[in-house]
Amino acid sequence: MRKQLAVLASLALSLGGLAQAQSAEQPQRGGTVQIALQTTPGSLNPVLPAELASNIINWTMFSPLTVVNPYTNQLEPYLAERWETNANLTEWTFYIRRNAFWHDGRPVTSEDVKFTFDKIRDPEEGANNLPDFRRVREIRTVGPYAVKIFLTQPDAFLDDRLSLGGSEILPRHIFSQFRRLRDATEYNSRTPIGSGPFKMKRAVPGQFFELEANPQFFLGRPFLDGLVFRVVPDGNTRVTQVLAGQLDWIEMEPTQIRAVQGNPRVKTTNFDTLRYQIFAWNLKNPLFQDLKVREAMVYAIDRRRLLQTVTPGFGYVDDAFVPKAVTWIPRPNIQFREFNPQRARQLLAEAGWRTNAQGILEKDGKPFEFKILVDRGNTQREQIGLILQQFFQDIGMKVTYDVAERGGRWLQETQQGTFETRLAEFLMPNVDWMQRLFSSVGQNNSQFYSNPRVDNLLAQMRATSNRTQHANFMRQIQEELYATFPNIPLYYMERILATNTRLQGFPAANIKDAMPFIHRVWLRGN
Protein backbone atom coordinates (compact mmCIF):
# COMPACT_ATOMS: atom_id res chain seq x y z
CA MET A 1 0.00 0.00 0.00
CA ARG A 2 1.36 3.36 -0.98
CA LYS A 3 2.21 5.48 1.97
CA GLN A 4 -0.68 7.90 2.41
CA LEU A 5 0.20 11.46 1.55
CA ALA A 6 0.39 13.60 4.65
CA VAL A 7 -1.77 16.61 3.97
CA LEU A 8 0.34 19.59 4.92
CA ALA A 9 2.09 17.26 7.33
CA SER A 10 4.39 19.86 8.81
CA LEU A 11 1.59 22.32 9.43
CA ALA A 12 0.76 21.42 13.01
CA LEU A 13 4.41 21.68 14.00
CA SER A 14 5.04 24.90 12.14
CA LEU A 15 2.07 26.56 13.78
CA GLY A 16 3.04 25.34 17.21
CA GLY A 17 -0.01 23.10 17.28
CA LEU A 18 -2.78 24.44 15.09
CA ALA A 19 -5.32 21.91 16.24
CA GLN A 20 -6.75 22.19 19.71
CA ALA A 21 -6.17 18.98 21.63
CA GLN A 22 -9.14 17.12 22.99
CA SER A 23 -9.97 18.21 26.50
CA ALA A 24 -8.38 16.26 29.35
CA GLU A 25 -11.85 16.02 30.89
CA GLN A 26 -13.98 12.96 30.28
CA PRO A 27 -16.38 13.85 27.44
CA GLN A 28 -20.01 14.09 28.47
CA ARG A 29 -22.96 12.93 26.41
CA GLY A 30 -26.04 14.93 25.53
CA GLY A 31 -27.02 18.43 24.54
CA THR A 32 -27.53 20.31 21.30
CA VAL A 33 -25.10 22.73 19.63
CA GLN A 34 -26.34 25.70 17.59
CA ILE A 35 -24.21 26.68 14.57
CA ALA A 36 -24.68 29.62 12.21
CA LEU A 37 -24.91 29.43 8.42
CA GLN A 38 -24.42 32.59 6.36
CA THR A 39 -26.95 31.47 3.74
CA THR A 40 -29.56 28.78 3.43
CA PRO A 41 -28.00 25.65 1.90
CA GLY A 42 -28.55 25.46 -1.84
CA SER A 43 -28.56 21.65 -1.83
CA LEU A 44 -28.47 18.84 0.71
CA ASN A 45 -26.92 16.60 -1.93
CA PRO A 46 -23.11 16.91 -1.56
CA VAL A 47 -22.42 15.87 -5.15
CA LEU A 48 -24.43 18.67 -6.77
CA PRO A 49 -23.08 22.25 -7.07
CA ALA A 50 -23.59 24.28 -3.91
CA GLU A 51 -21.83 26.77 -1.65
CA LEU A 52 -20.27 26.96 1.81
CA ALA A 53 -23.49 26.57 3.81
CA SER A 54 -24.28 23.33 1.96
CA ASN A 55 -20.76 22.03 2.47
CA ILE A 56 -20.92 22.67 6.22
CA ILE A 57 -24.18 20.85 6.86
CA ASN A 58 -23.57 18.06 4.33
CA TRP A 59 -20.30 17.09 5.99
CA THR A 60 -22.23 16.18 9.14
CA MET A 61 -24.60 13.89 7.23
CA PHE A 62 -22.55 12.33 4.39
CA SER A 63 -19.25 10.47 4.41
CA PRO A 64 -16.26 10.76 2.05
CA LEU A 65 -13.91 7.81 1.59
CA THR A 66 -10.99 9.82 2.99
CA VAL A 67 -10.81 12.92 5.16
CA VAL A 68 -8.37 15.51 6.46
CA ASN A 69 -8.35 15.28 10.24
CA PRO A 70 -8.71 18.91 11.45
CA TYR A 71 -6.91 18.11 14.72
CA THR A 72 -3.74 16.87 12.96
CA ASN A 73 -4.10 18.09 9.34
CA GLN A 74 -3.29 14.54 8.20
CA LEU A 75 -5.11 12.54 5.56
CA GLU A 76 -7.00 9.68 7.22
CA PRO A 77 -9.40 6.84 6.39
CA TYR A 78 -13.08 7.67 6.87
CA LEU A 79 -15.75 5.61 5.10
CA ALA A 80 -12.86 3.66 3.53
CA GLU A 81 -10.93 1.84 6.25
CA ARG A 82 -7.85 1.60 4.01
CA TRP A 83 -6.72 1.89 0.39
CA GLU A 84 -3.86 0.94 -1.90
CA THR A 85 -2.53 1.72 -5.37
CA ASN A 86 -0.32 0.04 -7.94
CA ALA A 87 3.23 1.15 -8.65
CA ASN A 88 2.41 3.51 -11.52
CA LEU A 89 -0.55 5.15 -9.71
CA THR A 90 -3.18 4.11 -12.28
CA GLU A 91 -5.19 1.60 -10.19
CA TRP A 92 -6.59 2.43 -6.76
CA THR A 93 -8.51 0.07 -4.47
CA PHE A 94 -10.59 1.35 -1.56
CA TYR A 95 -11.93 -0.96 1.17
CA ILE A 96 -15.25 0.11 2.71
CA ARG A 97 -15.94 -0.23 6.42
CA ARG A 98 -18.25 -3.17 7.13
CA ASN A 99 -19.96 -1.36 10.02
CA ALA A 100 -21.18 1.61 7.93
CA PHE A 101 -24.95 2.03 7.54
CA TRP A 102 -27.24 4.55 5.88
CA HIS A 103 -29.49 6.60 8.12
CA ASP A 104 -32.41 4.34 7.11
CA GLY A 105 -30.55 1.23 8.33
CA ARG A 106 -29.36 -0.20 5.02
CA PRO A 107 -25.65 -1.17 4.81
CA VAL A 108 -23.20 0.98 2.82
CA THR A 109 -21.55 -1.14 0.11
CA SER A 110 -19.18 -0.84 -2.82
CA GLU A 111 -22.24 -0.53 -5.09
CA ASP A 112 -22.98 2.83 -3.45
CA VAL A 113 -19.43 4.03 -4.12
CA LYS A 114 -19.52 2.94 -7.77
CA PHE A 115 -22.97 4.49 -8.23
CA THR A 116 -21.86 7.83 -6.74
CA PHE A 117 -18.65 8.09 -8.73
CA ASP A 118 -20.37 7.07 -11.97
CA LYS A 119 -22.92 9.82 -11.38
CA ILE A 120 -20.14 12.35 -10.80
CA ARG A 121 -18.51 11.23 -14.07
CA ASP A 122 -21.75 11.76 -16.03
CA PRO A 123 -21.61 15.28 -17.56
CA GLU A 124 -25.41 15.49 -17.62
CA GLU A 125 -25.53 15.33 -13.83
CA GLY A 126 -23.63 18.62 -13.53
CA ALA A 127 -21.64 17.37 -10.52
CA ASN A 128 -19.23 19.87 -9.03
CA ASN A 129 -16.34 17.38 -9.01
CA LEU A 130 -16.62 16.16 -12.60
CA PRO A 131 -13.08 17.49 -13.37
CA ASP A 132 -11.68 15.32 -10.55
CA PHE A 133 -12.86 12.24 -12.43
CA ARG A 134 -11.76 13.11 -15.97
CA ARG A 135 -8.89 10.62 -15.74
CA VAL A 136 -11.09 7.79 -14.44
CA ARG A 137 -11.45 5.05 -17.08
CA GLU A 138 -13.56 2.57 -15.12
CA ILE A 139 -14.94 1.91 -11.64
CA ARG A 140 -15.42 -1.71 -10.67
CA THR A 141 -16.76 -3.33 -7.49
CA VAL A 142 -14.69 -6.12 -5.98
CA GLY A 143 -17.19 -7.83 -3.73
CA PRO A 144 -19.55 -5.91 -1.44
CA TYR A 145 -16.87 -3.92 0.41
CA ALA A 146 -14.15 -3.02 -2.09
CA VAL A 147 -14.07 -0.82 -5.18
CA LYS A 148 -11.30 -0.48 -7.75
CA ILE A 149 -10.75 2.73 -9.74
CA PHE A 150 -8.84 2.51 -13.04
CA LEU A 151 -7.22 5.69 -14.38
CA THR A 152 -6.08 6.71 -17.86
CA GLN A 153 -3.06 8.52 -16.40
CA PRO A 154 -1.04 8.31 -13.17
CA ASP A 155 -2.55 10.33 -10.33
CA ALA A 156 -0.72 10.62 -7.04
CA PHE A 157 -3.46 12.68 -5.43
CA LEU A 158 -6.66 10.69 -5.88
CA ASP A 159 -6.89 9.85 -2.17
CA ASP A 160 -6.30 13.50 -1.21
CA ARG A 161 -8.83 14.71 -3.74
CA LEU A 162 -11.60 12.47 -2.42
CA SER A 163 -11.29 14.19 0.97
CA LEU A 164 -12.00 17.71 -0.25
CA GLY A 165 -15.78 17.70 -0.50
CA GLY A 166 -18.17 17.00 -3.34
CA SER A 167 -17.32 13.27 -3.54
CA GLU A 168 -19.21 12.05 -0.47
CA ILE A 169 -20.96 8.75 -1.08
CA LEU A 170 -24.68 8.70 -1.91
CA PRO A 171 -27.18 5.86 -1.22
CA ARG A 172 -27.76 3.96 -4.45
CA HIS A 173 -31.07 2.51 -3.22
CA ILE A 174 -32.46 6.05 -2.89
CA PHE A 175 -31.09 7.87 -5.94
CA SER A 176 -31.34 5.02 -8.45
CA GLN A 177 -35.09 5.65 -8.42
CA PHE A 178 -34.51 8.95 -10.25
CA ARG A 179 -33.20 9.62 -13.74
CA ARG A 180 -31.00 12.47 -12.50
CA LEU A 181 -29.75 13.34 -9.03
CA ARG A 182 -31.39 16.75 -9.20
CA ASP A 183 -34.79 15.05 -9.70
CA ALA A 184 -34.72 13.78 -6.10
CA THR A 185 -36.08 17.11 -4.90
CA GLU A 186 -37.28 16.07 -1.44
CA TYR A 187 -34.08 14.19 -0.59
CA ASN A 188 -31.97 17.09 -1.86
CA SER A 189 -33.78 19.74 0.17
CA ARG A 190 -35.50 18.30 3.26
CA THR A 191 -34.99 14.57 3.88
CA PRO A 192 -31.41 13.61 2.97
CA ILE A 193 -30.21 10.08 3.73
CA GLY A 194 -26.50 9.83 4.48
CA SER A 195 -24.12 7.74 6.56
CA GLY A 196 -22.47 10.50 8.59
CA PRO A 197 -22.51 11.23 12.34
CA PHE A 198 -25.80 13.17 12.23
CA LYS A 199 -29.07 12.74 10.35
CA MET A 200 -31.81 15.18 9.42
CA LYS A 201 -34.69 15.52 11.89
CA ARG A 202 -36.43 18.66 10.64
CA ALA A 203 -35.67 21.14 7.86
CA VAL A 204 -37.17 24.61 7.53
CA PRO A 205 -35.23 26.09 4.57
CA GLY A 206 -34.36 29.74 5.07
CA GLN A 207 -34.61 29.41 8.87
CA PHE A 208 -33.00 26.33 10.44
CA PHE A 209 -32.05 22.67 10.02
CA GLU A 210 -32.34 20.37 13.04
CA LEU A 211 -30.21 17.21 13.09
CA GLU A 212 -30.03 14.29 15.54
CA ALA A 213 -27.18 11.94 16.42
CA ASN A 214 -26.73 8.81 14.32
CA PRO A 215 -26.42 5.93 16.83
CA GLN A 216 -25.02 3.64 14.09
CA PHE A 217 -22.22 5.97 12.97
CA PHE A 218 -19.24 3.82 12.00
CA LEU A 219 -16.76 5.82 14.15
CA GLY A 220 -19.02 5.69 17.19
CA ARG A 221 -22.13 7.51 18.35
CA PRO A 222 -21.57 11.29 18.65
CA PHE A 223 -21.36 12.74 22.15
CA LEU A 224 -23.93 15.38 21.23
CA ASP A 225 -27.61 14.52 20.89
CA GLY A 226 -28.20 17.08 18.17
CA LEU A 227 -27.17 20.03 16.03
CA VAL A 228 -29.18 23.02 14.88
CA PHE A 229 -27.90 25.02 11.92
CA ARG A 230 -29.48 28.47 11.91
CA VAL A 231 -29.45 30.74 8.86
CA VAL A 232 -28.04 34.08 10.07
CA PRO A 233 -26.81 36.14 7.09
CA ASP A 234 -25.48 39.15 9.02
CA GLY A 235 -22.11 38.83 10.77
CA ASN A 236 -22.96 41.30 13.53
CA THR A 237 -26.18 39.43 14.27
CA ARG A 238 -24.20 36.23 14.61
CA VAL A 239 -21.98 37.87 17.23
CA THR A 240 -25.04 39.18 19.11
CA GLN A 241 -26.58 35.72 19.13
CA VAL A 242 -23.44 33.99 20.42
CA LEU A 243 -23.32 36.56 23.24
CA ALA A 244 -26.96 35.81 24.03
CA GLY A 245 -26.43 32.04 24.00
CA GLN A 246 -28.59 31.57 20.91
CA LEU A 247 -25.56 30.30 18.96
CA ASP A 248 -22.68 28.19 20.28
CA TRP A 249 -20.12 28.22 17.45
CA ILE A 250 -19.39 30.95 14.90
CA GLU A 251 -16.49 32.26 12.84
CA MET A 252 -15.89 35.91 13.64
CA GLU A 253 -14.04 38.78 12.04
CA PRO A 254 -11.09 40.39 13.90
CA THR A 255 -12.96 43.70 13.97
CA GLN A 256 -15.69 42.02 16.04
CA ILE A 257 -13.44 40.63 18.77
CA ARG A 258 -13.97 43.56 21.15
CA ALA A 259 -17.66 42.74 21.29
CA VAL A 260 -17.01 39.39 22.99
CA GLN A 261 -13.88 40.14 25.05
CA GLY A 262 -14.45 39.70 28.77
CA ASN A 263 -17.75 37.86 28.33
CA PRO A 264 -17.68 34.75 30.56
CA ARG A 265 -20.04 32.93 28.20
CA VAL A 266 -17.77 33.14 25.13
CA LYS A 267 -14.31 31.79 24.33
CA THR A 268 -12.25 32.95 21.33
CA THR A 269 -9.72 30.83 19.43
CA ASN A 270 -7.39 32.15 16.70
CA PHE A 271 -6.25 29.95 13.84
CA ASP A 272 -4.46 30.09 10.49
CA THR A 273 -7.06 29.36 7.86
CA LEU A 274 -4.69 28.42 5.01
CA ARG A 275 -6.90 30.77 3.01
CA TYR A 276 -6.29 34.06 1.27
CA GLN A 277 -8.59 36.82 0.14
CA ILE A 278 -8.37 37.37 -3.60
CA PHE A 279 -9.36 39.89 -6.22
CA ALA A 280 -10.22 37.82 -9.31
CA TRP A 281 -10.59 38.91 -12.90
CA ASN A 282 -12.81 37.13 -15.40
CA LEU A 283 -10.06 36.39 -17.90
CA LYS A 284 -12.56 35.84 -20.71
CA ASN A 285 -13.08 39.61 -20.56
CA PRO A 286 -10.76 41.33 -23.08
CA LEU A 287 -10.28 44.19 -20.63
CA PHE A 288 -8.13 41.97 -18.39
CA GLN A 289 -6.30 39.78 -20.91
CA ASP A 290 -3.25 42.06 -21.19
CA LEU A 291 -0.60 41.04 -18.64
CA LYS A 292 0.49 44.66 -18.26
CA VAL A 293 -3.03 45.66 -17.24
CA ARG A 294 -3.19 42.93 -14.59
CA GLU A 295 0.26 43.81 -13.28
CA ALA A 296 -0.72 47.49 -13.10
CA MET A 297 -3.74 46.60 -10.98
CA VAL A 298 -1.49 44.72 -8.55
CA TYR A 299 0.71 47.79 -8.11
CA ALA A 300 -2.36 50.00 -7.66
CA ILE A 301 -3.30 48.33 -4.34
CA ASP A 302 -1.62 49.13 -1.04
CA ARG A 303 -2.14 45.65 0.36
CA ARG A 304 -0.32 46.32 3.63
CA ARG A 305 -2.65 49.22 4.41
CA LEU A 306 -5.63 47.17 3.24
CA LEU A 307 -4.76 44.39 5.69
CA GLN A 308 -4.34 46.76 8.63
CA THR A 309 -7.61 48.50 7.82
CA VAL A 310 -9.76 45.41 7.38
CA THR A 311 -8.23 42.94 9.83
CA PRO A 312 -5.62 44.70 12.01
CA GLY A 313 -3.17 42.35 13.67
CA PHE A 314 -4.39 39.24 11.87
CA GLY A 315 -2.92 37.80 8.67
CA TYR A 316 -0.08 38.81 6.36
CA VAL A 317 0.51 39.90 2.75
CA ASP A 318 2.39 37.81 0.21
CA ASP A 319 2.60 37.19 -3.53
CA ALA A 320 3.19 33.45 -3.07
CA PHE A 321 0.25 31.12 -3.69
CA VAL A 322 1.00 28.70 -0.83
CA PRO A 323 0.76 29.72 2.85
CA LYS A 324 4.00 30.28 4.75
CA ALA A 325 2.95 27.63 7.25
CA VAL A 326 3.43 24.93 4.63
CA THR A 327 7.14 24.73 5.26
CA TRP A 328 7.91 21.58 3.23
CA ILE A 329 7.28 23.54 -0.01
CA PRO A 330 10.30 25.81 -0.74
CA ARG A 331 9.75 29.51 -1.05
CA PRO A 332 9.42 30.58 -4.72
CA ASN A 333 11.94 33.02 -6.14
CA ILE A 334 9.67 36.05 -6.11
CA GLN A 335 9.62 39.55 -4.64
CA PHE A 336 6.48 41.09 -3.15
CA ARG A 337 5.07 43.82 -5.37
CA GLU A 338 4.76 46.85 -3.11
CA PHE A 339 2.21 49.62 -3.64
CA ASN A 340 3.42 51.74 -6.56
CA PRO A 341 0.71 53.77 -8.33
CA GLN A 342 3.28 55.48 -10.55
CA ARG A 343 4.40 52.09 -11.87
CA ALA A 344 0.74 51.14 -12.35
CA ARG A 345 0.10 54.20 -14.53
CA GLN A 346 3.27 53.53 -16.53
CA LEU A 347 2.21 49.94 -17.29
CA LEU A 348 -1.25 51.06 -18.34
CA ALA A 349 0.27 53.63 -20.69
CA GLU A 350 2.47 50.92 -22.18
CA ALA A 351 -0.69 48.88 -22.73
CA GLY A 352 -2.22 51.76 -24.71
CA TRP A 353 -4.49 53.34 -22.09
CA ARG A 354 -4.71 57.15 -21.96
CA THR A 355 -6.54 59.46 -19.56
CA ASN A 356 -9.46 61.36 -21.14
CA ALA A 357 -10.81 64.81 -20.24
CA GLN A 358 -12.92 63.32 -17.44
CA GLY A 359 -9.85 61.68 -15.87
CA ILE A 360 -10.93 58.16 -16.94
CA LEU A 361 -8.61 55.75 -18.72
CA GLU A 362 -9.63 55.18 -22.32
CA LYS A 363 -8.46 53.01 -25.21
CA ASP A 364 -9.90 52.91 -28.75
CA GLY A 365 -12.73 55.13 -27.55
CA LYS A 366 -13.76 52.79 -24.74
CA PRO A 367 -13.39 53.63 -21.04
CA PHE A 368 -11.71 51.30 -18.55
CA GLU A 369 -14.91 50.42 -16.69
CA PHE A 370 -15.88 47.37 -14.64
CA LYS A 371 -17.76 46.09 -11.59
CA ILE A 372 -16.40 44.40 -8.45
CA LEU A 373 -18.84 41.67 -7.37
CA VAL A 374 -18.95 41.32 -3.56
CA ASP A 375 -20.86 38.76 -1.48
CA ARG A 376 -23.19 40.46 1.00
CA GLY A 377 -22.70 39.46 4.64
CA ASN A 378 -18.95 38.88 4.51
CA THR A 379 -17.70 41.77 6.62
CA GLN A 380 -14.13 41.68 5.33
CA ARG A 381 -14.98 41.54 1.64
CA GLU A 382 -17.62 44.25 1.95
CA GLN A 383 -14.87 46.55 3.26
CA ILE A 384 -12.28 45.31 0.76
CA GLY A 385 -14.58 46.07 -2.17
CA LEU A 386 -14.97 49.71 -1.20
CA ILE A 387 -11.23 50.12 -0.59
CA LEU A 388 -10.29 48.52 -3.93
CA GLN A 389 -12.82 50.70 -5.70
CA GLN A 390 -10.96 53.77 -4.46
CA PHE A 391 -7.48 52.40 -5.29
CA PHE A 392 -8.51 51.62 -8.87
CA GLN A 393 -10.31 54.93 -9.31
CA ASP A 394 -7.13 56.69 -8.17
CA ILE A 395 -5.34 55.43 -11.30
CA GLY A 396 -8.19 56.40 -13.63
CA MET A 397 -10.48 53.38 -13.72
CA LYS A 398 -14.26 53.66 -13.45
CA VAL A 399 -15.33 51.06 -10.90
CA THR A 400 -18.75 50.05 -9.58
CA TYR A 401 -19.10 48.37 -6.20
CA ASP A 402 -21.65 45.59 -6.80
CA VAL A 403 -22.85 43.76 -3.69
CA ALA A 404 -25.07 40.68 -4.07
CA GLU A 405 -26.39 37.85 -1.91
CA ARG A 406 -23.83 35.06 -1.71
CA GLY A 407 -26.41 32.32 -2.18
CA GLY A 408 -28.08 34.27 -4.99
CA ARG A 409 -26.57 36.41 -7.73
CA TRP A 410 -22.98 36.25 -6.40
CA LEU A 411 -22.99 32.45 -6.65
CA GLN A 412 -24.89 32.47 -9.94
CA GLU A 413 -22.46 34.85 -11.65
CA THR A 414 -19.50 32.91 -10.25
CA GLN A 415 -20.79 29.56 -11.50
CA GLN A 416 -21.92 30.90 -14.87
CA GLY A 417 -18.75 32.95 -15.39
CA THR A 418 -20.65 36.18 -16.05
CA PHE A 419 -18.94 38.39 -13.43
CA GLU A 420 -16.41 41.02 -14.50
CA THR A 421 -14.29 40.92 -11.35
CA ARG A 422 -15.13 39.51 -7.94
CA LEU A 423 -13.88 39.12 -4.41
CA ALA A 424 -13.55 35.65 -2.92
CA GLU A 425 -11.24 33.56 -0.81
CA PHE A 426 -9.12 30.61 -1.89
CA LEU A 427 -7.75 27.90 0.36
CA MET A 428 -4.77 25.58 0.03
CA PRO A 429 -5.50 22.54 2.26
CA ASN A 430 -3.30 20.27 0.14
CA VAL A 431 -1.24 20.38 -3.02
CA ASP A 432 -4.09 19.09 -5.17
CA TRP A 433 -5.89 22.40 -4.65
CA MET A 434 -3.26 24.00 -6.86
CA GLN A 435 -4.73 21.88 -9.65
CA ARG A 436 -8.32 22.72 -8.74
CA LEU A 437 -7.62 26.44 -8.80
CA PHE A 438 -5.15 26.90 -11.65
CA SER A 439 -5.46 23.97 -14.05
CA SER A 440 -7.17 25.00 -17.31
CA VAL A 441 -9.96 22.51 -16.46
CA GLY A 442 -9.91 22.87 -12.66
CA GLN A 443 -13.42 22.95 -11.18
CA ASN A 444 -12.54 25.91 -8.95
CA ASN A 445 -10.86 27.85 -11.77
CA SER A 446 -13.72 30.31 -11.99
CA GLN A 447 -11.40 33.06 -13.28
CA PHE A 448 -10.78 31.03 -16.53
CA TYR A 449 -7.01 31.08 -16.13
CA SER A 450 -5.25 28.94 -18.74
CA ASN A 451 -1.50 28.37 -18.92
CA PRO A 452 0.00 25.35 -20.78
CA ARG A 453 3.17 25.46 -18.67
CA VAL A 454 1.19 25.27 -15.44
CA ASP A 455 -0.91 22.43 -16.87
CA ASN A 456 2.28 20.55 -17.80
CA LEU A 457 3.85 21.01 -14.36
CA LEU A 458 0.63 19.80 -12.71
CA ALA A 459 0.59 16.71 -14.95
CA GLN A 460 4.19 15.91 -13.99
CA MET A 461 3.35 16.36 -10.31
CA ARG A 462 0.42 13.94 -10.56
CA ALA A 463 2.67 11.27 -12.06
CA THR A 464 4.88 10.81 -8.99
CA SER A 465 4.36 10.12 -5.31
CA ASN A 466 7.78 11.58 -4.46
CA ARG A 467 7.24 14.42 -2.00
CA THR A 468 10.52 16.15 -2.80
CA GLN A 469 9.49 16.33 -6.44
CA HIS A 470 6.05 17.62 -5.42
CA ALA A 471 7.74 20.43 -3.51
CA ASN A 472 9.88 21.39 -6.49
CA PHE A 473 6.91 21.38 -8.87
CA MET A 474 4.93 23.55 -6.45
CA ARG A 475 7.76 26.07 -6.34
CA GLN A 476 7.91 26.25 -10.15
CA ILE A 477 4.13 26.57 -10.46
CA GLN A 478 4.07 29.46 -8.01
CA GLU A 479 6.79 31.29 -9.94
CA GLU A 480 4.76 30.91 -13.14
CA LEU A 481 1.60 32.14 -11.42
CA TYR A 482 3.52 35.12 -10.04
CA ALA A 483 4.56 36.05 -13.58
CA THR A 484 1.13 35.64 -15.18
CA PHE A 485 -1.38 37.02 -12.62
CA PRO A 486 -4.30 34.55 -12.41
CA ASN A 487 -5.65 36.72 -9.57
CA ILE A 488 -4.36 39.07 -6.88
CA PRO A 489 -3.66 37.51 -3.46
CA LEU A 490 -4.74 40.40 -1.23
CA TYR A 491 -3.69 38.83 2.08
CA TYR A 492 -3.54 35.53 3.91
CA MET A 493 -6.21 35.19 6.55
CA GLU A 494 -6.27 34.40 10.21
CA ARG A 495 -9.70 33.83 11.67
CA ILE A 496 -11.32 33.69 15.07
CA LEU A 497 -13.76 31.16 16.43
CA ALA A 498 -16.20 32.40 19.05
CA THR A 499 -17.68 29.51 21.00
CA ASN A 500 -19.80 28.92 24.05
CA THR A 501 -17.42 28.09 26.91
CA ARG A 502 -19.33 24.83 27.44
CA LEU A 503 -18.31 23.63 23.96
CA GLN A 504 -15.41 21.19 24.20
CA GLY A 505 -13.30 19.04 21.89
CA PHE A 506 -13.61 21.24 18.79
CA PRO A 507 -10.59 21.79 16.51
CA ALA A 508 -9.09 25.22 15.87
CA ALA A 509 -10.14 25.19 12.23
CA ASN A 510 -12.79 26.42 9.85
CA ILE A 511 -16.23 25.19 10.93
CA LYS A 512 -16.65 23.37 7.60
CA ASP A 513 -13.42 21.42 8.06
CA ALA A 514 -14.44 20.40 11.58
CA MET A 515 -17.77 18.86 10.58
CA PRO A 516 -16.61 15.31 9.64
CA PHE A 517 -15.30 15.08 13.21
CA ILE A 518 -18.32 16.67 14.89
CA HIS A 519 -18.87 13.34 16.68
CA ARG A 520 -15.91 14.24 18.93
CA VAL A 521 -17.38 17.56 20.08
CA TRP A 522 -19.24 17.69 23.39
CA LEU A 523 -20.88 20.07 25.86
CA ARG A 524 -19.73 20.47 29.44
CA GLY A 525 -22.44 20.46 32.09
CA ASN A 526 -24.97 18.04 30.60
Residues 475/434, Cβ–Cβ less than 8 Å: no
In a domain, 25, yes or no: no
Instruction: Examine the domain organization and report whether 480 and 417 are in the same domain.
Output: yes
In a domain, 65, yes or no: yes
Instruction: Examine the domain organization and report whether 291 and 346 are in the same domain.
Output: yes
pTM beyond 0.85: the answer is no
Amino acid in the structure at residue 176: S
pLDDT value, residue 21:
42
Instruction: Examine the domain organization and report whether 226 and 87 are in the same domain.
Output: yes
Instruction: Examine the domain organization and report whether 243 and 198 are in the same domain.
Output: yes
Residue-wise pLDDT for 422-443, tens only, equals 999 887 766 778 888 999 988 7
Instruction: Examine the domain organization and report whether 221 and 278 are in the same domain.
Output: no
CATH of the domain at 71: 3.40.190.10
pLDDT value, residue 454:
97
Instruction: Examine the domain organization and report whether 254 and 281 are in the same domain.
Output: no
In a domain, 474, yes or no: yes
- Cα 133 to Cα 36, 408, 441, distances in angstroms: 32, 28, 11
What residue numbers bound the domain in which 139 lies? 32-265+501-523
In a domain, 1, yes or no: no
pLDDT value, residue 6:
35
Instruction: Examine the domain organization and report whether 137 and 113 are in the same domain.
Output: yes
Sequence-distant (6+) residues with CB within 8 A of 244 are none
> How many angstroms separate the CA atoms of 324 and 15, rounded?
10
In a domain, 92, yes or no: yes
pLDDT value, residue 313:
81
**What residue ranges in 308-445 does DSSP mark as E strands?**
354-355, 361-363, 366-367, 369-376, 398-405, 421-427
In a domain, 398, yes or no: yes
Q: What is the DSSP string of 216-246?
A: T-TT---SSSEEEEEE---HHHHHHHHHTTS
Instruction: Examine the domain organization and report whether 516 and 370 are in the same domain.
Output: no
Secondary structure element (H or E) that encloses residue 434, with its range: helix 432-438
Instruction: Examine the domain organization and report whether 185 and 239 are in the same domain.
Output: yes
Residue 118: count of CB within 10 angstroms of its CB: 15
In a domain, 363, yes or no: yes
Confidence class for position 24, pLDDT limits 50, 70, 90: low
pLDDT value, residue 375:
92
CATH of the domain at 480: 3.10.105.10
In a domain, 17, yes or no: no
> How many angstroms separate the CA atoms of 482 and 453, rounded?
13
> How many angstroms separate the CA atoms of 16 and 44, rounded?
36
Instruction: Examine the domain organization and report whether 200 and 290 are in the same domain.
Output: no
Number of domains observed in the structure of the chain: 2
What letter does residue 316 receive in the DSSP assignment? B
